[in-house]
Amino acid sequence: MTTATFSSIFSPTGCLRKDGVSSSKADTWNAKKVFVKCSVSTKTQKAEKEVRLGVLGASGYTGSEIVRLLANHPHFGITLMTADRKAGQSIGSVFPHLVSQDLPKMVAIKDADFSDVDAVFCCLPHGTTQEIIKGLPKSLKIVDLSADFRLRDISEYEEWYGQAHRAPELQKEVVYGLTEILREEIKGARLVANPGCYPTSVQLPLVPLIKANLIEPKNIIIDSKSGVSGAGRGAKEANLYTEIAEGIYSYGVTRHRHVPEIEQGLSDAASSKVTVSFTPHLMPMSRGMQSTIYVELAPGLNFKDLHQHLKLSYEDEEFVVVLEEGAVPRTHNTRGSNYCFINVFPDRIPGRAIIISVIDNLVKGASGQALQNLNVMMGFPENTGLLYQPLFP
Ligand SMILES: NC(=O)C1=CN([C@@H]2O[C@H](COP(=O)(O)OP(=O)(O)OC[C@H]3O[C@@H](n4cnc5c(N)ncnc54)[C@H](OP(=O)(O)O)[C@@H]3O)[C@@H](O)[C@H]2O)C=CC1
Ligand SMILES: CC(=O)N[C@@H](CCC(=O)OP(=O)(O)O)C(=O)O
């Protein structure tokens, strides 16, 4: 067992703090003053960690990303992992990059024992997750990464996902997990629906602007691009190297299932129905996401008003970074991290602005935000285990 000792204030591990719970960038600054020496094992020892976690769907891309991120979490240890086709295998055999993680073998969900688990990350395909979560012990805190609980209106779920909602009672207690916007609600939640990657990249810039009436909530045009890991690890013809490399393609044109999720969040912000034009594209990159958003300014405003408002809105946030004027957000600059980089540009057409938002779809768009939410639900500093800097080049 290799053990690393950190005493530096720059420790990425979120070492134990003396001063209780907090949640934003301000907390990081405070935390710097109070970091104490701590030991972090490079192999997970559940006995050392206070919170025992289950990762359902650990053999998928978001599940394995949770495992990667948790390696540096001082309070969360994994006691249960599930897989479907890969049940019975170790994480290192399915994901050789995680071979140093000393974790239990993955089991089928039907064989899972939750008696040693306090909280669960549910990283399963949508459509399967409502039934599974319905069957879990009520004592568990749950962050669901699928789309199964994101839409409050169950008839809307049926319309966009093509099947009736299977856990309408549970839906009533769900909190939508866009951490920076709904932190207070997430604190008291038992079941959090983690946002989709596209909706995260879109709502983070737009919600504060709509709430402050700085943009017209109509005529919003969203052009989004995703890395291929957004489609999961399952083999699909459309995701073969030969289909993806050296080209891009639009999909879900006019009717992608993230439209109602985006519109739900923006309508909440506007307190009236907002509709958007949204087209996602698949890019020849393994991870990363960019949303380029075209908006109409409220009368008399220019792009600097939007920039300044976003700066102020997120100045205390750890993970949402509004860049200096003119700097272009790039997917390369958030890769492997929980950051969302945003900037606003003037359009040539008077009265319009262009917003660019980038995230790593697997981190802020999925597993990183899920961990951020569980930190909040469990009362730990929100950035715990999440201060990985972006991987560049
Ligand atoms: N990829 C992304 O960027 C994002 C994904 N999401 C959502 O997160 C969820 C997981 O996505 P992702 O990790 O990419 O998907 P993957 O396809 O990579 O992984 C799916 C996981 O679920 C397991 N699984 C599949 N079918 C079943 C079943 N019927 N019963 C039990 N387990 C099953 C798989 O097991 P096995 O491999 O053994 O078959 C695997 O562990 C999805 O709902 C997705 O939409 C959300 C945001 C972003
Ligand atoms: C590239 C790609 O296929 N992306 C997925 C979205 C991934 C994600 O955030 O979605 P959910 O959690 O809502 O499934 C898609 O377009 O369906």
Q: At what angle do helices 197-211 and 179-187 cross, to 10 degrees?
A: 90
pLDDT of residue 18: 28
pLDDT of residue 8: 28
Residue nearest to atom 7 of ligand 2 (CA): 230
Nearest atom within ligand 2 for CA of residue 252: 16
pLDDT of residue 17: 31
Active site residue 122: no
The secondary element (H helix, E strand) that includes residue 184 is helix 179-187
Phi, psi of 60 (to 5 degrees): -100, 180
Cα-to-centroid distance, 59 and ligand 1 (Å): 8
**ipTM value for the complex:** 0.98
Cα-to-centroid distance, 18 and ligand 2 (Å): 39
Give the chain's domains with CATH numbers.
3-195+366-378 (3.40.50.720), 198-361 (3.30.360.10)
Residue nearest to atom 17 of ligand 1 (CA): 232
Cα-to-centroid distance, 122 and ligand 1 (Å): 9
The secondary element (H helix, E strand) that includes residue 134 is helix 129-134
What is the distance between the alpha carbons of residues 341 and 385, in angstroms, rounded to a whole number?
19
Cα-to-centroid distance, 20 and ligand 1 (Å): 34
pLDDT of residue 322: 98
For ligand 2, pick from 62, 161, 226 the residue to mutate: most ligand atoms within 8 Å of CB.
226
Nearest atom within ligand 1 for CA of residue 126: 43
Low-confidence ranges of the chain (pLDDT < 70): 1-48
pLDDT of residue 292: 99
For ligand 2, pick from 122, 178, 200, 258 the residue to mutate: most ligand atoms within 8 Å of CB.
258
